[in-house]
Every structure is written in C-alpha cells, then in structure tokens.
Amino acid sequence: MRTQQLGLSNLEVPVIAVGCMRIKELGKPEAEHFVQTALEGGANFFDHADVYGDGACEQIFADAVHMSPTVREKLILQSKCGIRRDVAFDFSKSHILQAVDGSLKRLRTDYLDVLLLHRPDALVEPEEVAEAFDILHSSGKVRNFGVSNQNPMQIQLLQKFVKQPIVANQLQLSITNCNMISQGLHVNMQDERAVNRDGGILDFCRLKDITIQPWSPFQYGFFEGVFLDNPKFPELNDAVNAVAKAHGVSNTTVAIAWLLRHPAKMQPVTGTMNAGRIRDCIKAADVQLSKEEWYQIYLGAGNILP
C-alpha cells in the first residue's frame, strides 16, 4: 500500500488506518480473518483505544493477530486514552500512565507506536500531560504522541509544555460531515457554512505538519448511520456511484478516495469489520479522483459553493 510520513514523526505509515473499535463484535475465526486480510493488503496500522469494549478490543486484536515479537515488528499500533466511564475525561499524569500500562498488557507489547489523547479534557493540566509523555517516551513505552478532536488553541496549549511533537489529530470527517472543509470555501460569507466551529483546524494541522486522521468516514451525523446506499442521500449516491463506475471500483473505495484526494495528506481510519469492505478501503490508496469528480461528490452531498 502507498505510505506517507505521520506528522513530524519518523514513522512511514499506510495511508489507510484500520480502526478496531468494533472488533469485539467478531468471533475469533472472523477476527483472525479480518486482521489477516488487512495485513495482506498492506494495512498494518491499527487504531485502538482503552475504552473500546472496555479494553476487550485490544485483547481480542492481540489474540487475532497471534501477537509475538516477530508479529509485533510488522505492526504499527496506535491507541488512545483519556475517556473514563466513571468520570468523563481524565488527562492526569497518573491516569495516562496507568492507561498505557493497561493497553500494553492487553496488546501484549512493550510499546505503542502512537498514543493519542482521546477527546479534550476540560480540566487538563498540560504540565501533567508533559510529565506523563516524558516518562512514557524515555521509558520506550510510547514512541509518538497525538490528540483527537482538538482545536488549534488546545493543541498549542499542550505544545507549550509537551516536548514531543503532536503528530496526529483524529477528527470526524466524511463526505457528509465536512464542515472543516466547507467553512474554508465560505470565508467572508453570511451563510451557515461560513461559521468557523473548530478554529480552522484543517489549515492549522497542515501548517504544523500534523496528520489528520478522519474517523467515521462513512457516517453521517454522529453515528446515525452510513450514507452509502442510503435512500436519504440519493444525489450523493448517484455521484459516488458514477465515479465508482468510471474507475471500476466500489462506492466504498470512492468514499475513502475522496478523503485521500485532499492535499492535507489525511490518513482515514476505517471502522468496518467486514473483510470485503476493508479490501475496498485499501484499494482507495491507488485511486486518484480528479478535481471535477471530487467537487461532483461534494455537491452531491448537499454542500453548496458560494
């Protein structure tokens, strides 16, 4: 699979990340087949979080991949921490260190390639985050650090204290949820799409060499459902299907290729647990949409141009 550099890290990663939030839904044979299918396609970057399945997803993945030192060196593992079921969010030094130890144990590995802070914590003390990151980095438990769902000011506040570069920011983004793109097109307009809801995070990440990892690339709303083959989105599906036919690929491939076409060099995080669909996602790495096709799909989703 085509690869790219992850932020300012030394990691060369596949342009597609495999999300493991739903791997708990699979039986052991199905989980093994799914992971192997991803690896055969060159998708060896796996995204986890300690909160997925209350930790079970990390353990199920380790079992499915038959984790060993030989297997581990072929994988790029990312996990997230900071969401607590009993509190809400916790970016304290003690919680971060405890959470990472838990993930390492469940994943049966000595280190994470990437650790993300999972959503913002309103009570974050960035000095504590910096201390935790220093301990994790110096001990070799975590090699790179990032965030999820954070705006430019939140990232800059962290970076005032954190020595390590923020290499990734995981953000919700899809054809139907693309406000971060639309607001850039509607600058100086008085319509709803001109409202800047995220502080210009798209351009900020490009300026700071932070890789955006779009999550829920097939979802509309907030986990309301997928837009592909959905009668609620006839114009969008007509546009996607026309492009898919022109390239000889599936609509799943086109939905991911639409994100990859953006010059920000994003790394979409898939959520499917279907082996056939992960193959289709992987194919997107080799599909280059034209400007005309990209805008055709953008407009098909109900977006408008100023």
58 φ/ψ angles, rounded to the nearest 5 degrees: -65, -40
Residue type, 21: M
Look up 52 and say whether it is catalytic.
yes
Residue 167 is given by DSSP the state: E
Cβ 243 vs Cβ 289: under 8 Å: yes
Residues in CB range of 302: below 8 A, 6 or more apart: 176, 233, 235, 236
d(CA 306, CA 69) in angstroms, rounded, equals 54
d(CA 294, CA 106) in angstroms, rounded, equals 41
Cβ 280 vs Cβ 250: under 8 Å: yes
Sequence-ordered alpha helix ranges (H) in the chain = 28-40, 56-64, 69-72, 93-107, 126-139, 152-161, 179-185, 201-207, 234-247, 251-260, 275-283, 291-300
Render the burial of 44-77: b for 16+ CB within 10 Å, e for the rest: bbbbbbbbbbebebbbbbbbbbebeeeebeebbb
Strands 3-5 and 12-14: antiparallel
In 3D, which of 151, 84, 86, 92 has the Cα closest to residue 123?
92
Q: Which of 52, 220, 295, 298 is catalytic?
A: 52
Q: Name the residues annotated as catalytic.
A: 52
